[in-house]
Amino acid sequence: MIPLTDDYLQRLLQTFLTLRTAKEYWREGEIYWGVKRPDADSVAAHTCCVAQIALLLADEVREAKPGLKLDIDKVVKIPLIRHMPKSITGDTSYAVRIMAEEEFRLLEVEAFNLLTRDLSISCRDEWQELFQEYTSLRGGNSLTSTEARIALFADGLDAWMQALSFSHTWMPAHEEYNKRVYESLKGDSNLHDGLAQLFRQASTMLKGRQIGPKRPHGDIVGIDVRAFLQNLSDRLAARFQPASSQVMQKIQLLKLLQTYLTLQSAKELGRKGYIYFGFKRAESDSIAAHMCCVAWIALYLAEELNRLDASLKLNVGRAISIGLVHDMPEAITGDIGFAVKLIDKNNLQSLEEKGFNRLIENLCPSSQKRLLDLLGDYNSCNSTEARVALFADGLDAWMQVLSVPYTWMPAHEEYNKLVYEKLKGDNKVKDDLAELFRYASNMLRSRQIGPIGVPRRSHSF
C-alpha cells in the first residue's frame, strides 16, 4: 500500500526534517524584549504546550457547557498547522511583524505551501482553511470559530506564562500583546465574551506569581493564598462576566492553571536517554519539542495514509493527540532513559502512571477519561493511530540521534529495532508501517537527505 520508492520517501523525509528545525529556532519575540537566548522557548516547545493547553481547555469548556458542539480534533490541529511555517521561516518578533505584517504573512503562506506540496488537494485545502482562520482571528476577524479562539487562548496564555518566568524582560510589551489576545477572544458565537474574560482572569492570577506547578502531595499554594486567589477569581468573574457567559465560572481556573504550569516544565527538561549514550546537554532536545515533532509527523503520516487508502479512515486528530500526550507524564517525572527502563521497567512504568494521575487529577472527568485512553492506547499500541504516533516517536528520536556524530549508535539501533517490531501486525496496515519505518531509518542514516530546499543527494566536484 505504501510506495517504498526512493523518490516518494525522500520527499516525505524532507518534510519531516524541515519540521524538526523548529526545535532549534528561538522564539525571537522573547529575545527582542530582553530574554537571553538560552532562556527563550523554541518554536517546537511553544507549539507543543499551546496544543496541549488547547486540548485540555476544550474538554473543560465542553464539560462546562453541555450540548456545545466542539471539534476537539480541530482544536489540536490549529496550533500545529499555524506554527508549521516557522520551521522554514523561523520565528519573527511581534514588534517586527507590526512594521511589515503583510510581507511576513506572504512569506508564511509561501512556506506553508512548500510544506503541504505533497498532500492531497482536500487535505491541503483543509489545512489552509485552518491556517487562514487562525491568522484572520489574530487580525480581529470576529467570524472565526470557537475552536480557533481556544487555540488563540492557549497561544496567548503560554506566551504569558513564559514572560512571567523572567525578571528581566520588558513587561509592557507582553502586556500590550496580552490585550490584543483578549480583544481577539471577544465576541464568540457560542461563548460570547467568556473566553476573553477567562483569559483576563488567568492572566491576572498568574501575574501574582502565587501559583506554581503540582507537587507530589498537596497543592503548591498555601491555604491563605488559595483563599485569596479564589476570592480574586470570584470578584473578577462578577465584574467582567455577563450573564451570557456564566458558563466560564464553572471552570476551576486555579487548578487548571496549576496543570498548565506543570506542563511548562517539559520545555526545560531534556531527554536523558540521549545524554546517557553520549549527547551533551545542549544537544538533547526538550521533552516538549520532541512531543511537538511527534505530533507533526503523526499529522502528516496519518493524512498521507488516508490519501493512499481512503478505506483506512484513520482518525487524524486521535493520532495527533496521542503524540501530544505520550510523554506528558514526564512533565512531572522527567524523562527516564531507555537504558534505565531496562533495569526496572515495571516500577518505572508505575512511577509514570502516578505522575500522570497527579497531573490530570484536577481536570474535568471527560478530560481525564480522554487522556487516560490516549496514553493507554499508546502504551499498548492497540490502534493504527497509536502505531502512527509510535512511528513518529521512533523516527523523531532517530533523526535526533543522526544529528550528533559521536553518540553510541548500537544503543539507538537496538531501540529502533524494538520500534520496528512493535509496528508490525497492525489490523489495518499489516506490516506496512514497520517496513516504512525500517526503510526510512536506513535512508536517513545515509545522511543524503536534508530539509526542503536542500539538495537531496550530495554531488562531487
**328 domain-assigned:** yes
The predicted-structure confidence for 383-397, as pLDDT tens digits, reads as follows 999 999 999 999 999
- What average pLDDT does the segment 417-435 reach? 96
> What is the total count of domains within the chain?
2
Apex CA 17: angle with CA 12 and CA 22, to 5°? 130
Dist CA 377 CA 110 (whole Å): 37
Amino acid at residue number 266: A
Same domain, 197 and 320: no
Is the pLDDT assigned to residue 48 strictly greater than 60?
A: yes
Is the pLDDT assigned to residue 328 strictly greater than 70?
A: yes
The CATH number given to whatever domain includes residue 154 is: 1.10.3210.10
Same domain, 286 and 239: no
Dist CA 25 CA 451 (whole Å): 14
Name the residue among 111, 41, 39 with its Cα closest to residue 82: 111
The cell numbers describing 122, all together, are 482536500
Same domain, 354 and 256: no
Same domain, 234 and 313: no
Dist CA 94 CA 30 (whole Å): 9
- What average pLDDT does the segment 236-242 reach? 47
Within 10 Å of residue 384's Cβ, how many Cβ atoms? 21
**91 domain-assigned:** yes
Same domain, 279 and 414: yes
Same domain, 415 and 348: yes
pLDDT of residue 242: 45
The predicted-structure confidence for 333-374, as pLDDT tens digits, reads as follows 888 876 677 777 777 788 888 999 999 998 999 999 999 999
Are 200 and 153 a contacting pair, CB within 8 Å? no
Boundary residue ending a domain (267, 283, 301): 267
The predicted-structure confidence for 275-284, as pLDDT tens digits, reads as follows 888 888 778 8
Task: Answer left, alpha or beta for residue 313, where phi above 0 means left and psi between -120 and 50 means alpha.
Answer: left
**164 domain-assigned:** yes
Residue 46's domain comprises 25-267
pLDDT of residue 143: 54
CA-CA-CA-CA torsion sign (267, 268, 269, 275): positive
pLDDT of residue 251: 67
